[in-house]
């Protein structure tokens, strides 16, 4: 996976590492610029490096957890409105699925956004697939923007709140 230049060298926050211990799903919440997307990219790079190290140690590929990762900006789901094959592909992706900037638009989600997000999250939870989600919304706002059921699914694993100054303004 090619990491965009602005995210290269980013470090995984310890709060995320701790949160993912024993969890397959994590929701990263925080205001714009607090490093949520950077954390996703850094975590993906960390997993890829771990897999490469295991290969060097001679660990059989069939014994390795699959560390493929897929970064999906929420806007991409909107662009593919009513493409159920795409939503189903995301739902069943066997690697790490990173949904970035969920709920980025103001107001309530469309029926398509709600249905697609519900499907993706439900399948991934049922199949215990690793999913990382970032959002600027808090849990109350997620429930308002989507539905309480989606807020529940998003927060069913670890919930990490990132704070601080906007790194883009530094």
- Tell me if 117 sits within 8 A of 147, measured CB to CB: no
Nearest-angstrom CA–CA distance, 94 and 66: 7
This prediction has a pTM of 0.81
Confidence (pLDDT) at 59: 60
Strand partners, 98: 71, 132
pLDDT of residue 60: 57
Domains and CATH numbers, the chain: 5-163 (3.40.50.300)
What is the C-alpha to C-alpha distance for residues 9 and 29, in angstroms, rounded to an integer?
Answer: 21
3-state secondary structure the chain: CCCCHHHCCCCCCHHHHHHHCCCCEEEEECCCCCCHHHHHHHHHHHHHHHHHHHHHCCCCHHHCCCCCEEEEEHHHHHHCCCCHHHHHHHHHCCCEEEEECCCCCCCCCCHHHHHHHHHHHHHHHHCCCCEEEEECCCHHHHHHHCCHHHHHHHCCCEEEECCCCCHHHC
> In this structure, are residues 151 and 139 in contact, taking their beta carbons and an 8 Å threshold?
yes
Query: Are 121 and 150 in contact, with CB atoms under 8 Å apart?
Result: yes
Structure tokens given for 114: 């709600």
For residues 168 and 170, give the distance between their C-alpha atoms in angstroms, rounded to a whole number.
6
Determine the Cα angle at 120 with ends 11 and 132, to 5°.
10
Chunked mean pLDDT (size 10), the chain, 170 residues: 74 78 85 86 80 69 56 78 86 88 80 91 93 92 93 93 78
């Amino acid at each position: 996976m090619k990491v965009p230049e602005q995210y290269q060298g980013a470090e995984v926050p310890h709060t995320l590492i701790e949160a993912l211990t024993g969890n397959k799903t994590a929701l990263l919440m925080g205001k714009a610029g607090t490093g949520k997307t950077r954390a996703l990219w850094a975590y993906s790079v960390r997993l890829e490096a771990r897999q490469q190290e295991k290969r060097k140690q001679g660990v059989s590929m069939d014994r390795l957890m699959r560390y493929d990762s897929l970064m999906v900006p929420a806007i991409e789901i909107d662009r593919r409105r009513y493409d159920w094959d795409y939503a189903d592909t995301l739902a069943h992706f066997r690697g790490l699925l990173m949904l970035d900037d969920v709920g980025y638009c103001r107001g309530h989600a469309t029926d398509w956004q709600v249905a697609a997000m519900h499907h993706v999250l439900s399948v991934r939870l049922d199949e215990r697939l690793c999913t990382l989600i970032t959002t600027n919304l808090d849990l109350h706002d997620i429930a308002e923007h989507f539905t309480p059921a989606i807020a529940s699914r998003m927060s069913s694993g670890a919930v990490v709140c990132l704070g601080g100054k906007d790194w883009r303004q530094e």
